[in-house]
């Protein structure tokens, strides 16, 4: 499976600066990774002693309460069991330093304010790269609003299908989800820049919730019991 970096963070180095470094007068791109830091490195080392393989894909340095540095990372995680090898991507942050059993408590990380901020940032970046604002504006979502016209539903479904299938093939790309193979409606709504849930006072308005329910009904998506998490059918 080829590695895809469409949504990776990049920092462009100008041609003159590249020439000073290596004698080649050509613009270059580097990955602007900040490193895992002490807490995540300690977690990675402990996990690897238990037979896991951890590979960071993207790391952000955020701030907690405007004073504490806090790293948030999207990582590849492979773990050998007696009868299978489990491999997936997931989000992790410096909160692992305070967890007695991080592998069993990773779901709690999704509630960390730094993680929520990083997820919102990722969703905005994915939206920008995909140009969802321009696409939906062209097909019937007034600029500056979160309420697309009813005839835009088909386009929204196509964008949802693209994001879901892209993530299935390239989980390393991190399209603003917390674990590979599934997505959360609020974050996907941020990617699409539309309303996540139906407005009780205006039920006729299109929301991602109504689109997802239609896609679940026709079998193209699986809507989990929490009403928020969606995934592709196994055969998809």
The answer on pLDDT for 31 being more than 60 is no
> What are the tens digits of pLDDT across the range 49-65?
888 899 888 888 887 77
Q: Is 142 within a domain?
A: yes
Do 170 and 116 contact (CB within 8 A), yes or no? Answer: no
**146-155 mean pLDDT:** 78
Return the structure tokens found at 189: 């709504």
**100-109 mean pLDDT:** 79
The answer on pLDDT for 185 being more than 70 is yes
pTM of the complete model: 0.83
One domain for residues 58 and 41 = yes
Q: What is the mean pLDDT of the chain?
A: 84
Q: Which residues contact 106 (CB under 8 A, 6 or more apart)?
A: 90, 92
The answer on pLDDT for 39 being more than 70 is yes
When pLDDT is cut at 50, 70 and 90, the band that residue 142 belongs to is low
Query: Among 9-23, 104-118, 145-159, which stretch is predicted with the lowest mean pLDDT?
Result: 9-23
One domain for residues 101 and 143 = no
Residue 104 structural domain: 37-111
Residues composing the chain: 236
Q: What is the pLDDT of residue 160?
A: 93
One domain for residues 91 and 16 = no
One domain for residues 80 and 131 = no
Q: Is 100 within a domain?
A: yes
Q: Is 236 within a domain?
A: no
One domain for residues 224 and 148 = yes
One domain for residues 129 and 107 = no
When pLDDT is cut at 50, 70 and 90, the band that residue 30 belongs to is low
Q: Is 23 within a domain?
A: yes
CA 88 to chain CA centroid, nearest Å: 13
One domain for residues 55 and 133 = no
Q: How many domains does the chain have?
A: 3
Q: What is the pLDDT of residue 165?
A: 94
Q: Is 202 within a domain?
A: yes
Q: Which residues contact 50 (CB under 8 A, 6 or more apart)?
A: 79
Q: What is the pLDDT of residue 23?
A: 66
One domain for residues 20 and 76 = no
Q: What is the pLDDT of residue 171?
A: 93
**99-120 mean pLDDT:** 84
Q: Which residues contact 108 (CB under 8 A, 6 or more apart)?
A: 95, 99
Of the three residues 68, 89, 111, the one that is the final residue of a domain is 111
Pick the residue with more confidence: 234 or 18? 234
**119-132 mean pLDDT:** 90
> What are the tens digits of pLDDT across the range 75-92?
999 887 777 778 899 999
Is 83 in a helix, a strand, or coil?
Answer: coil
One domain for residues 91 and 183 = no
Q: Is 146 within a domain?
A: yes
Of the three residues 91, 111, 131, the one that is the final residue of a domain is 111
Helix (H) or strand (E) holding 49: helix 37-49
Q: What is the pLDDT of residue 194?
A: 85
Pick the residue with more confidence: 214 or 107? 214
One domain for residues 139 and 210 = yes
One domain for residues 88 and 41 = yes
Q: Which residues contact 23 (CB under 8 A, 6 or more apart)?
A: none
One domain for residues 80 and 166 = no
Q: Which of 154, 175, 148, 152 is nearest to 164 (CA)?
A: 175
**144-165 mean pLDDT:** 83
Of the three residues 111, 127, 153, the one that is the final residue of a domain is 111
């Amino acid at each position: 499976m080829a590695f895809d970096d469409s949504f990776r963070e990049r920092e462009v180095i100008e041609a003159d600066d590249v020439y000073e470094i290596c004698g080649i007068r050509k613009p270059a791109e580097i990955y602007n990774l900040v490193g895992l830091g002490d807490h995540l490195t300690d977690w990675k080392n402990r996990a690897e002693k238990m037979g896991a393989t951890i590979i960071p894909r993207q790391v952000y340095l955020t701030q907690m309460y405007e004073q504490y540095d806090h790293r948030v990372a999207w990582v590849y995680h492979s773990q050998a069991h007696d009868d299978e090898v489990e491999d997936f991507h997931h989000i992790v942050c410096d909160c692992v330093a305070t967890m007695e059993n991080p592998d069993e408590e990773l779901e709690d990380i999704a509630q960390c304010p730094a993680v929520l901020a990083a997820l919102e940032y990722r969703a905005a970046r994915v939206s920008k790269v995909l140009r969802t604002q321009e696409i939906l504006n062209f097909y019937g979502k007034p600029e500056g609003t979160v309420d697309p016209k009813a005839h835009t539903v088909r386009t929204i479904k196509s964008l949802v299908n693209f994001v879901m299938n892209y993530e299935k093939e390239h989980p390393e790309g991190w399209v603003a989800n917390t674990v590979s193979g599934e997505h959360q409606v609020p974050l996907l709504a941020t990617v699409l820049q539309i309303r996540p849930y139906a407005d009780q006072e205006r039920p006729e308005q299109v929301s991602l919730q109504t689109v997802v329910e239609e896609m679940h009904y026709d079998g193209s998506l699986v809507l989990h019991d929490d009403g928020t998490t969606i995934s592709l059918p196994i055969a998809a």
